[in-house]
Structure 1
Amino acid sequence: MFLFQLYGDHWLIVLHKATSEKNELLKGVFIASIDHHRIDQLVFMDESLKDECIIAVDIMKGSYTKQRFKEFVISQVLPQMNPFPSTNSVLVFDNAKIHHDQELLEYLDAFEVKIKFLSLYLPDLNPIETAFSTIKQFLRRNRYFVDTSYNPIYPLLVACSQITPQMTEDYFRGLGYF
């Protein structure tokens, strides 16, 4: 979820990112819990990263609400999902409160999409966090482009488009999913 906040006359780009200490035991437990899934089945939420690319992005001004999240999942993510055990059939959420909406989970279940939740306080298990770093680096390296763009959303979309299949494979590999 890319969030924009107006600060004076300038847009601040706030990339939602949880911070925490690594807990290797919980990390191992989570990886073991998804080990029986093929990598092509997994789709990680925030901006919906899978093993090939970012498949959905929602950029908005203001706070991300439970309703907005549900709309994003249903309109942009679900159409790219498949019934389990097909490719794109396991949706991995972090433990943000808005991700635990029972109505949404039941809706996804009706489409036979499996849901997995990351262990508490382990955002470092979500490859999208590595993609965020790449996106932020792109925005820093291209500051003039960002500052002179008429629409602040455009540089973010361009930055997201820089994430290649090789990069996403490296993100997954770096977290131990391959």
Structure 2
Amino acid sequence: MVYRLHQPATKLATVRMALQGLALPEICRLLGVGISRQSFGRWLELYEETRCVIKDPESYEARGRPATLSRDECEFMVRLAQSEPGLFLDEIRERLYDSSGVFLSVEGVHRNLVERLSITLKKPETKNVRKSLVAKYTFVEMMEFFPADFLVFTDESSFCDKDLLRSFGRSKRGTPSARYIINQNPPRLSLLPAISIEGLVALTTTFETYNGTRFEHFLEYDLLPRMNRYPDSNSVLVCDNATWHRGERVQQLCDAAGVRLMYLPPYCPELNPIELCFAAVKQQIRSSQILNRTEDPEFEIRQITAEVMVSDLCYKLYKHCGYCVPPY
């Protein structure tokens, strides 16, 4: 006989009519539904046992393989993943055994995490414990009064062809894939650009590390001459809290140029659109692998930077970081 689903109201009406002495054929005629004698008998039996025509789902017999972990043990694994997300599977197994005495295989731990608890392995986002949300949102609230075309962001980054090799490669199944380093000790190039919502404003590079003196030289001779006096477009310089960004002469140079100097809250790179520009530049270099075959890496990096940090990208990144951009 084909299984047929009956609504709870139908079951309740059927049992009530049966208690009033009506026969099953008469009940089916009055309700306009077909009810088998097996279903009719089960409903009456359930009512006599529980005084209810709907069976409690908690009383159903469990189907399939019995669960290897109880509810409390599952909650322990969830709390463990939340507090220490970087644990290996064997470490989770040991913690579970120490807590409840249940010993699973590594495969069993993985299966329970993924299939039962929906906890998967992913690359974590790095966060600094000293980051202050109060300082971050105070800065965000303050920046609501500055149009995006007032803001110029600057920061430094470094490039090395060994660090920009492609992360993955293809080969036949069962055989490893190889990648080759041409320059065993390649020089590291430091890049110091500044961007506005219109694109790249100034750019300088060096094979040495940037310090306060080089940053001040960049401001005095490259960046500040291309900026305007506040309040005007490109009149607010925003940089992070690096020590050599906060030198006394940095403030003096900005004051002399009529440029307002502002600092990002500590450990908040998500508020600096130039950080995302660096990611786009490195992705372009990694994609082209130009540093592995060029004799002038400085020229190539400067050219790619100028090609990537254009107005269209900068507009999108300013908007992504939450600044007050005009309609596109």
The percent identity for this pair of structures is 30
Amino acid at match of 1:44: F
When residues 172 and 60 of structure 1 are mapped into structure 2, their CA distance, relative to the original with a 3 A threshold, is same
Q: Which residue of 2 aligns with 1:159?
A: 304
Pair 23,173 (structure 1): closer, same or farther in 2 beyond 3 Å: farther
- Answering whether residue 147 of structure 2 is matched by residue 44 of structure 1, we say no
Q: Tell me the TM-score normalized by structure 2.
A: 0.46
Q: Which runs of 5+ in 1 are unaligned?
A: 1-18
TM-score (norm 1): 0.83
Deviations 1:83-114 (A, max 9, x none): 10011110001000000111221121122110
- Cα deviation for residue 25 of structure 1 reads 4.1
Query: What residue number does 1:103 align with?
Result: 249
Seen in structure 2, the aligned counterparts of structure 1 residues 106 and 20 have a Cα distance that, compared at 3 Å, is farther
User: Which amino acid letter does the alignment assign opposite residue 93 of structure 1?
Assistant: C
Tell me how large the CA RMSD over aligned residues is.
1.5
How many Å separate the matches in 2 of 1:133 and 1:49?
14
Distance apart, 1:169 and its partner CA: 0.5
Q: Is the 8 A contact 1:42 1:50 kept in 2?
A: yes
Greater strand share, 1 or 2? 1
Distance 1:71 1:20, change over 3 A: farther
Task: Report 1:1-178 matches (<5 A).
Answer: 20-21=127-128, 24-46=133-155, 47-143=193-289, 145-162=290-307, 163-178=309-324
Paired AA for residue 136 in structure 2: K
Instruction: Give the drift of 1:28.
Output: 2.1
Please report how far the alpha carbon of residue 146 of structure 1 lies from its aligned counterpart in structure 2 after TM superposition. Answer: 2.0
CA distance in 2, matches of 1:89, 1:164: 19
Give the corresponding residue for 1:9.
none
Q: Is the 8 A contact 2:132 2:266 kept in 1?
A: no
Secondary structure, counterpart of 1:56 in structure 2: strand
Give the structure, 1 or 2, with the largest relative contact order (CA under 8 Å, sep 6 or more): 1
In 2 relative to 1, CA 133–23 (structure 1 residues): closer, same or farther, beyond 3 Å? Answer: farther
CA contact 2:153–2:237 (8 Å) conserved in 1: yes
Larger CA deviation: 154-163 vs 23-32 = 23-32
